[in-house]
Structure formats: C-alpha cells, structure tokens
Amino acid sequence: MKFEITAPVVTDRLVLRPLEAGDAQALHAYQSLPETARYHFWEPRSLDEIRTKLADWVEMNHLEGEGTLAFAIERREEPGLIGDASLRVTSVEALQGTIGFSLHPACKGRGFATEAAGALLRMGFEDLHLHRIFACCDARNTGSWKVMGRLGMRREAHFREHARFKGGWDEEFYYAILEDEWRNNVCEDGLGARGRLQETGSAR
Ligand SMILES: CC(C)(COP(=O)(O)OP(=O)(O)OC[C@H]1O[C@@H](n2cnc3c(N)ncnc32)[C@H](O)[C@@H]1OP(=O)(O)O)[C@@H](O)C(=O)NCCC(=O)NCCS
C-alpha cells in the first residue's frame, strides 16, 4: 500500500494538512494541558518533548505499507493549528486502520473533531481502500466516544482493566465501522448519517 498526501484535505470548515516543524508551539498550547493528557497514556508534554516527537510526526505524510498519516487541523476561515488527527494503517493484509484526534480546548464543542475524523474515514475508505476503521478511547472520555458514535461507528468492545493506566486500571472502549456500513451511512459531507444529528443516544 503506497500513499502520499499531495494536497491538504479540505472539508466544509477545516483544512487537514501534514504537520510541520513550525507547529511545535501550537501543539504545546494544548498538549501541555492536563485536560488534554487526561485520557492519554502520556502526561502533559513539554515543548522539548513535542519538538522531539514532531521530528517524527512531520515524516508521517506518506505510507509505504503499514504506518501513520499525521495531520494538523486548521480552520479554513482562520489559519492556525487548532488540533491534530491521525490515520494509521494497522494491517495491510486485512485492510484495517485506526483514527485519532485532539483539539485545543478553546475549539471544542463546535463539531470540528467530528468533521476532521469524518474526513479521515473518507480518506481511509476511498483513498486507502480500507475494509474496517476502528478507534479506541478511555471509557470516561465521553467527548471522544461521542465523536465516534456521531460518525456511525459501533461500540464493539469495552475492555475492563486490561492495562495499567496512570496508577490505576484503564477502562477502554473500541468503536469501529466497516466500509460497506460507511458507504450505506455516508452523507455528501463525508460524515455518517448520524454525524449530522446532535443526538447521539444510540452510541451511549
Ligand atoms: C475528544 C475531543 C476531540 C472531542 O471534542 P469535542 O469538541 O467534544 O468534539 P467535536 O469537535 O466533534 O464537537 C462535538 C460537540 O460540538 C457540538 N456541535 C456544535 N456545533 C456542531 C456542528 N456544527 N457539528 C457537529 N457538532 C457540533 C456537538 O453537539 C457536540 O457537543 P456535545 O458533546 O455536547 O454533544 C476533545 O475532547 C479533546 O481534544 N480531548 C482531549 C484529547 C483526547 O482525549 N483525544 C481523544 C483521544 S482517544
């Protein structure tokens, strides 16, 4: 599987582009916050840590087999990084992939994560021809699993205390959607049918 991001991905309100070396400060603005790190396995990141990681992330703009595509999220109307997202091909043989997303807290609550993740589902199914895309999050990370539910992803698993997490046990949800489910559900805007609804009761 070979793929290269040759142009930014543009949605109604967002631009998803490869990360750049100059993004360190903007990433630090939210990755240094306890509320961003709360449900991640990592702790709030220093600027030096981000600069070190960014050296790898800027290379994640193409695939040659399994690997990750990493994106900065910007608003179309107002340039500047407001979050990051990723699409990782976990198995070329079984055409499996996973998505992830994070926003600066000041930009939450407007559907930006749902819109960005919807664009990654479209890329995964239409450009990479994946068969199934999954996403996982801490069970207490309501904002995260609500994004997955809005996109039409199904909750497939609730792993109870299957890993150590920040001095205790984790509780993890797995969500997934198959390519044909996405195609049957998909709207012109690239979101699953439920992506347009404010109500996510069926995902609870
Ligand atoms: C996970 C995370 C990205 C979710 O952010 P979010 O703002 O809740 O998600 P969205 O940007 O899709 O916004 C959805 C909210 O905006 C509302 N909204 C407002 N306008 C909207 C629009 N035009 N379209 C869709 N939703 C809209 C929705 O109703 C929803 O609100 P609700 O949660 O009260 O129902 C965010 O909490 C985050 O960055 N957390 C820290 C990092 C993290 O945990 N990442 C996930 C790791 S697995």
Question: Distance, CA 146 to ligand 1 centroid (Å)?
Answer: 7
Q: What percent of the chain has pLDDT over 70?
A: 91
Q: Is residue 135 part of a domain?
A: yes
The finding on whether 112 has its CB within 6 A of some atom of ligand 1 is: yes
Q: Is residue 195 part of a domain?
A: no
Q: Whose CA is nearest to atom 32 of ligand 1?
A: 109
> pLDDT, tens digit, for every residue of 53-74?
999 999 999 999 999 999 999 9
Confidence of residue 199 (pLDDT cuts 50, 70, 90): very low
Q: Is residue 78 part of a domain?
A: yes
* Cα–Cα distance for residue pair 34/104, rounded to 1 Å: 12
In this predicted structure, what is the pLDDT of residue 190? 52
111 pLDDT more than 80? yes
* Cα–Cα distance for residue pair 192/183, rounded to 1 Å: 8
Q: Is residue 197 part of a domain?
A: no
In this predicted structure, what is the pLDDT of residue 56? 98
Confidence of residue 185 (pLDDT cuts 50, 70, 90): confident
Question: Distance, CA 144 to ligand 1 centroid (Å)?
Answer: 7
Span of 48-62, 71-85, 175-189 with lowest mean pLDDT: 175-189
Q: Is residue 126 part of a domain?
A: yes
- Angle at the Cα of 75 from the Cα atoms of 186 and 201, rounded to 5 degrees: 40
The finding on whether 85 has its CB within 6 A of some atom of ligand 1 is: no
Confidence of residue 204 (pLDDT cuts 50, 70, 90): very low
Please name the residue that has the structure tokens 């994004």: 147
The CATH number assigned to the domain holding 66 equals 3.40.630.30
> What percentage of the chain's residues is helix, strand, coil (to nearest 5)?
35, 35, 30
142 pLDDT more than 90? yes
Question: Distance, CA 177 to ligand 1 centroid (Å)?
Answer: 19
Q: Is residue 190 part of a domain?
A: no
- Angle at the Cα of 192 from the Cα atoms of 68 and 30, rounded to 5 degrees: 50
The finding on whether 114 has its CB within 6 A of some atom of ligand 1 is: yes
* Cα–Cα distance for residue pair 200/110, rounded to 1 Å: 15
* Cα–Cα distance for residue pair 204/189, rounded to 1 Å: 24
Residue range 153-180: mean pLDDT, rounded:
97
Burial class (CB in 10 A: 0-12, 13-18, 19+), 57: buried
Q: What is the pTM of this model?
A: 0.93
As for how many domains the chain has, the answer is: 1
Q: Is residue 189 part of a domain?
A: no
The finding on whether 131 has its CB within 6 A of some atom of ligand 1 is: no
The finding on whether 113 has its CB within 6 A of some atom of ligand 1 is: yes
Residue in 11, 31, 114 to alter for ligand 1 test, most ligand atoms within 8 A of Cβ: 114
Measured from the Cα of 136, ligand 1's closest atom is 48
- Which residue range is the domain that position 131 belongs to? 2-184
The finding on whether 110 has its CB within 6 A of some atom of ligand 1 is: yes
SS3 122: helix
In this predicted structure, what is the pLDDT of residue 191? 58
Q: Is residue 84 part of a domain?
A: yes
